[in-house]
Every structure is written in C-alpha cells, then in structure tokens.
Amino acid sequence: MAYDVIIVGGSAAGITAGITCRRHYPGKSVLLIRAAKQVPIPCGIPYIYGTVGSPEKNLIPDAVLEKNGIEFLVDEVEDIDREARVVRTRSGKTAEYDKLVLATGSQPVVPPIPGVDRENVYTIRKDVPYLAQLKERMDVSKNLVIVGGGFIGVEFADECRKGRDISVTIVEMLPMCLAIAFDEGACSTVEEILTGSGVKVLTGTKVSSFEGADGKVEKVMLAGGQEIPADLVILAIGAGPNAALAKKAGLELGPHKAIQVDRHMRTSDENIFACGDCVETLSFFTGKSTALKLASISTMQARIAGANLFGNRRENPGAIGVYSTVVNGKCFATAGLTEGAAREMGYEVVTGEAGGPNRHPGGMPGAQDLTVRLICEKPSGRLLGGQVYGAESGGELINAVGACISTRLTADALALFQLGTHPALTASPIAYQLVNAAEQAVKQLHA
C-alpha cells in the first residue's frame, strides 16, 4: 500500500489533521492508522459515569472519516523506516508514505506511590473496555477516592455521585482544587459547590500509600497519617506524552520528553509532522515549551500540520490554554494566565471583575449569575487572562476572551466592545460583565 499521507493516531488530533489535509489537498490519499477499535471522546470520559451513562455513548464515530474520504486501519504502528518512508504494523502490514503525521496522544501519569498497582486503582485511559470495567466497579463501590483536584478529578467527583450511593473524597496536593487554572475566588466557589453536594475535599496534602489485603485497595494513607476508606481509587493527576514511537524512529524529543516540532508542526524529519498531546507545546506568552494538554490545542496544532504537509501555509502562534467545565450546573472557564501565573512570569498586572445576571432583567426565565474576571498587563492594558464562572453561558463567553487574548486586545479596546444583546440571551448592555470587567481594569490602569 502507498499513500500520500499516513496519520498514526485516531483521536482528536489525528482526525483533525486528516480532515484538514483533505480540505487543503483534496487530491491526496490519506490513511489513518489507530490501535483501538473504538475511540472515546477524551473530554467526555468523566460523563460516562453520570450524564452520558456508558462508554458506547461517548465515541467519535467512524463516519467522520468516511465522510471526508479518509481510509482507516485498526492496527498498531510499531516501526517507522524513515529512509524508505514505510510504516510497519503489529499485524505485519506495511504502508509507504510521502508525508507522515504522528498524533499518538498521551498516557496517564502513574506516580510511584506504594500500592499503586493494587486492584481497583484506576487511571484515566482512553480505552473503551477499560473504561467500561471502571464503570462496573464504580457501580458496586461504596468509597471512592480521587487523587487529583484538577479538571478531570473535579468532573469525576461531580458525575460519579449521580444515581449512586457512594462516598467521594478528592485528595489534592495544591492548596485548592483547580488552583493551576483559576485564581482564588473561582477555586473557593468550586470547593463550596463540591462540599455542598457531599464531596469531601482534602487539599494541601499528599497520598503516601494505598493499603489493603489480597491485592485489593481498602484504604488510602495520607502523608499526615490520616487514612481514608477506599474500595475504588481513581488517579487523575495528569498525562504525559506518548512519544515512544517517535523516539524509536530517532526523532528529536524536547524538554518534556515530547516530540520536538517547529512552528509549522514539522519534526526533525522534514517528511514527518506531529500534533496533539505527543508534541512539545509552545506557550503563546513565553514562546517556550509548556506542559499544557488540551483538545483545543491539539486540534489547533492538527489544523496547522494538515495545512502544511505540502507547503507552509500556517504557523503556530503558541498555546493560550482555554479550559471550561461544569460543576453541579455551574460553569467554570478560564483562558490564558491567572493573576498568580502572570506575576510569576514577571508581568505587572491589574485586574477587573464584574458580575450579575446573564439575562435582563434578572427576572427573565433562565437567568443566572455570571462573573467575569480579567487580568491585564500594566501599563499597556493588554489582556493576559480571563476567568468566567456561574451561568453555563460562560462556556461560550470564555472563547471570546481567548480570542481577545490571541489578538492582544487591550482592556480599553475591550471596554468599547460592540456587543449584541437580547433580554432572553445575554446580560444587559449596561451591565455586560465582559465589558464592565474591562472598565474596572482600565480604572486600575489609570489609578
């Protein structure tokens, strides 16, 4: 078999790279090779255990490949012969390529904690049978401990209590849940919602071991000596790049042991591109490698790689980092830098914050409170970050904040933002949170 383009990896980055290639180079043949028969939607994994209800309802359909004229093969690529431009699979198949795209994703971090290999200690794998097994176990468990209070940990805690009589405890080593992504106000609100719904939240502490009998986990021991009953443990402490295939092929790796790419998403081999969680991600703010891993970043990189396969058409501007989640019906979303992160990078900053109903008047059906917080550089007023929490409409508003950051918009320009409003859809134009938060930042700039 010979193809113009072969893509290794069938999740968000691989699929997007293939679709983008077909859009820019419709005459090129594309083969996507993936190891798994079924591909889960990564961001939807926590919702398997509550809102969605099963792994089979959280899948990326194969129809998206067929619709875009992309062939696919369920197999695992084990070797790349860069000189001959040939890939070899586990089943013994070979395929020639003109251009190759590596989108091999990430794998969960497993900390070297004693007892981590005990039965019923799970990581978050993008593996449908494994996720189904975790659901079966969760359905009969009484005491769940989630190690990690980031987005995945918080989402699991919120979802797994739906329809179950189960005790849930989050153990987070940082001072607050979601502390990397949000400033204190939003973090406090998240924790209040979690504890109010019955989740126990233990922050500023570490797990020392997982204990039990007959190879099964029965309790989690904390560094301070406290023990927590646990017949199920979920490790939600992040993921590392899956760059083993690239390393085996002799491609250059970067400081995070991910595949090194340039701003065109080209690797150290001019005929091989890479995108997604397996690559070194550049920061929009520093131009240096960052550990950020998000589907939005992966697909952005994939659109660059797919467009550049047969000519440089796009350049990577760097990752801003735009996150959003829902906790007990409340949106928490963030883009760019927190105030703390900005100060650590050496920025002098001012902040602006505004809150109020997301409809006008506030008695309109569906009205919910929404708060916007902006972080701006001083004295330029350039927007560095923003956080939105409260009404679920904030999940879309944060994308506007991300766009403002990427275009280096200033607080003063944002204060003059011409917006479309409607009583049933948005906050009042007089009290529009995004604009009023910008006005508050301008006030601080001129103080």
Active site residues: 43
The pLDDT, as a whole number, for residue 254 is: 97
Residues with pLDDT less than 70, the chain: none
* Residue whose C-alpha is closest to residue 154's, from 190, 185, 184, 110: 190
Model pLDDT, residue 1: 87
- 92-151, pLDDT tens digit by residue? 999 999 999 999 999 999 999 999 999 999 999 999 999 999 999 999 999 999 999 999
- CA gap 29, 25 in Å, rounded: 9
What are the structural domains of the chain? 2-107+240-308 (3.50.50.60), 110-237 (3.50.50.60), 322-445 (3.30.390.30)
Amino acid identity of 126?
Answer: K
Q: pTM surpassing 0.75? A: yes
Which tens digits make up the pLDDT trace of 155-182?
999 999 999 999 999 999 999 999 999 9
Average pLDDT, the chain: 96
Q: What is the pLDDT of residue 447?
A: 76
Q: For residues 270 and 257, give the distance between their C-alpha atoms in angstroms, rounded to a whole number.
A: 20
3-state helix, strand, coil in the chain (%, to 5): 25, 30, 45
- Cα separation, 280 vs 260, in Å, equals 6
d(CA 443, CA 355): 17
